[in-house]
Amino acid sequence: MGLTSALFLGGLLSLALPWLLHRMTAHDDKRIDVSSLYLMRPSETPANTVKKIRHPWLLATRLLLLTALCFSYAQPYLTDLLVAASERKPHRIIVIDTSVSMGAADGSSSLDQAKDQALDLLSELAVGQKAALITAATDVDLQTGLTADITAVRAAVNTIQPSEASASMSRLPARLTTLIDTLVAPTERVEVHLLSDFQASAMPHSFNQLVDGARWPLILHPVRPAPDNWGVSALTYQRDRNQLDVTIQSFAAGAASINVDLLQNDVRTGTQVAELQPFGNTLLSFDVESLRRTDRAWTVRLNLDDGLRADNVRYLAATAALGAPLPVFAPAEQPFTYIRAAVSAASGRFEPLLSDTLDDSEAPVLILLDPGVLPATADANVRRHLDRGGAVLIIAGEATRKAGRIPILDLKIAADRITQTRRGVIAADRTHPILTGFDGWRDTSVYQAVGVEGQAILTLDDNQPLLAEYPVRAGRLLLLTTALDPAWSNLVVQPGFVTWLNNTLAYLAEDMLPTDALVAQPFAIPAASVQLLDQAGKRVLSLSDSVGRPAVKVRNAGLYELRTPSHRRLLAVNVDPLEMDLRRASPELLEKWSAALANRASWASESVSAARPTDPAQTRTPLGPWLLLALAALVIIELLVANGGRSAQPSRNATV
């Protein structure tokens, strides 16, 4: 309990009690009751008729007693004077943005400028002030703890190297607070200095995420404006055309003409000249060999010396096996459109193809889109596929509902189990690989669905399965009980739909190893253990490192090879394309952010210092025992004064 606690303040109100009691028994000075004033004449000199408190010493003793009691409950302490003095000058937490964009150089890099500013801030520290160094990119890392050894902090600043991770200001204050709380003693005050290029692309959509969790004063130090920049923002393999599409984005005010090299296995296989327009995208296409049977990896490189070099290179890994056709039985066209768009938007590992017979014996997965009554030929082929250990995805729809039966499964659709009203998902088997990275089920609304029995992965709030899995013969079958139609559910219009479909196909094809990732961004590897090797064959992540880890991070861009006990997969790790845009956030936003944090920090630091648990640091001297002694003494004094007052009290019958 602190001195601002409502309980403590309420306790102080009790001080009024003895005062009122004494006031009630207050007497007029020398006031004497007389039978009548009939024969009296008033004095020419006005007499003092002010009421005086009876037994003032007793009242004072009681007030002191109650005050001491209230303070003892507030658990007061004395703070060491030196510490208190140093609190007046807050310590400095220096946070340096080390994202890719900070490597942008126009002469010296942004990171170098930030380091110089950090050194300046350190040189301003007075004796006794402490400093700490934190680097922030995708992750927030502590470089040095809060220390008075400024030399060590300066050394740490000088050794900071640019990373290839992306920056995100989203919830940065909250993340910093979590870290700073582990550094700062309850009695210490700090101010946080953030040195960054403050990219507009790193700013969150919600302003609240810039201020939520902020507890300390945050001072923003933008480095100088960013130079012109160009970079490869996208690299996609067009399986159907055997082409590699390269998207080059310009963040420069002027046009430029640059050479773009395509490398395959570190060997240049092509060069094109790109004419880049100011602040625009330029698309180049390279013809490449078919990937029907071979995994491939490409590197695209821009031959120019611009502001940021890290984004001039982009990697792409494509897996041959995953370029296989994906037979889809779809009587209606619209659901197939959704499937094709979603699969293409993922990684192109599958190539959806309409098929009436589903006779591709090589396809790992078959999809039945609202099949209704399945033709005999297709039915037989699907069953043979399942016999071979294949996988099938059935997505229900109007035709299936009219048929009243789920094909292959031979499950009858009960009329009373057809969902006709809006339903939400109330249960999800989050351990299922399909749901990895897909949280859209929380917001999924289902307007129509067919109800069948099955092991539900997603369950609607009428206890009907939305997504269920069935082992059929030697294979597996997944059933989505709603249609890929906005009239049936909002699943297809959710951002997570692509992720979900990708996961589903990968799960059914028994292949969920990723082929691409971003630097420092965690990605899931659905394998019991994994090794990650760089292009030189050096292990970046060993089996022992990854055992039990659901997600891994890679710190540098490049091409890697993922090895699991059963698969090998090329992995392309790239820098976040958002880092290419070096433009700074608007001054208004930065100003607003700075002001908001200054205001918030002023009250937050006070409340936190009051609410923090007592730290056993030696800087505090508890006053509780002394207050107890004072209480005991005051009790004795009160008794003495009270008894003395009683014995000295004149007779109440003293009248005239």
For other proteins, the binding residues in 580-599 under the rule CB under 8 A are: none
Instruction: Work out how close the CB of 643 gets to other proteins at its nearest, in angstroms, rounded to a whole number.
Output: 23
Task: Give 30 or 88: the residue with its C-beta nearer to other proteins.
Answer: 30
Tokens found for residue 280? 């625009």
Distance CA 382, CA 329 (A): 10
Q: Is 505 left (phi over 0), alpha (psi -120 to 50) or beta?
A: alpha
Distance CA 89, CA 128 (A): 9
**Rounded (5°) CA angle 158-163-165:** 145
Phi, psi of 534 (to 5 degrees): -80, -175
Distance CA 467, CA 452 (A): 10
- Binding track over 29-58 against other proteins, x by CB under 8 A: xxxxxxxxxxxxxxxxxxxxx---------
Task: Quickly count: other Cβ atoms within 10 Å of residue 375's Cβ.
Answer: 16
Task: Give 40 or 253: the residue with its C-beta nearer to other proteins.
Answer: 40
H helix or E strand, kind and range, residue 558: strand 558-563
Q: Note the helical H segments in 388-495.
A: 398-403
Instruction: Work out how close the CB of 41 gets to other proteins at its nearest, in angstroms, rounded to a whole number.
Output: 6
Task: Quickly count: other Cβ atoms within 10 Å of residue 38's Cβ.
Answer: 6
Instruction: Work out how close the CB of 56 gets to other proteins at its nearest, in angstroms, rounded to a whole number.
Output: 19
Cα maximum dimension of the chain: 132
Instruction: Work out how close the CB of 54 gets to other proteins at its nearest, in angstroms, rounded to a whole number.
Output: 16
Q: Does the footprint of other proteins cover residue 28 (CB under 8 A)?
A: yes
Beta strands in 110-255 (DSSP E): 131-136, 140-147, 190-196, 218-222, 229-238, 243-251
Tokens found for residue 516? 């691409």
For other proteins, the binding residues in 47-106 under the rule CB under 8 A are: 47-49
Task: Give 614 or 649: the residue with its C-beta nearer to other proteins.
Answer: 649
Stretch that binds other proteins, among 23-31, 566-574, 610-618, 623-631 (CB under 8 A): 23-31
Q: DSSP label at 90?
A: -
Task: Give 46 or 625: the residue with its C-beta nearer to other proteins.
Answer: 46
Task: Give 267 or 654: the residue with its C-beta nearer to other proteins.
Answer: 654
Instruction: Work out how close the CB of 45 gets to other proteins at its nearest, in angstroms, rounded to a whole number.
Output: 6
- Binding track over 625-654 against other proteins, x by CB under 8 A: --------------------------x-xx
Task: Give 46 or 613: the residue with its C-beta nearer to other proteins.
Answer: 46
Task: Give 28 or 181: the residue with its C-beta nearer to other proteins.
Answer: 28
Task: Give 41 or 88: the residue with its C-beta nearer to other proteins.
Answer: 41
Instruction: Work out how close the CB of 28 gets to other proteins at its nearest, in angstroms, rounded to a whole number.
Output: 6
**Length, in residues, of the chain:** 656
**Rounded (5°) CA angle 416-420-425:** 100
Distance CA 436, CA 432 (A): 7
- Binding track over 480-499 against other proteins, x by CB under 8 A: --------------------
Count of residues interacting with other proteins (CB under 8 A): 27
Stretch that binds other proteins, among 25-33, 421-429, 509-517, 593-601 (CB under 8 A): 25-33
**Residue written as token pair 């508890």:** 622
Instruction: Work out how close the CB of 652 gets to other proteins at its nearest, in angstroms, rounded to a whole number.
Output: 9
Task: Give 47 or 611: the residue with its C-beta nearer to other proteins.
Answer: 47
Instruction: Work out how close the CB of 648 gets to other proteins at its nearest, in angstroms, rounded to a whole number.
Output: 17
Q: What does the binding site for other proteins look like in residue numbers (CB under 8 A)?
A: 28-49, 651, 653-656
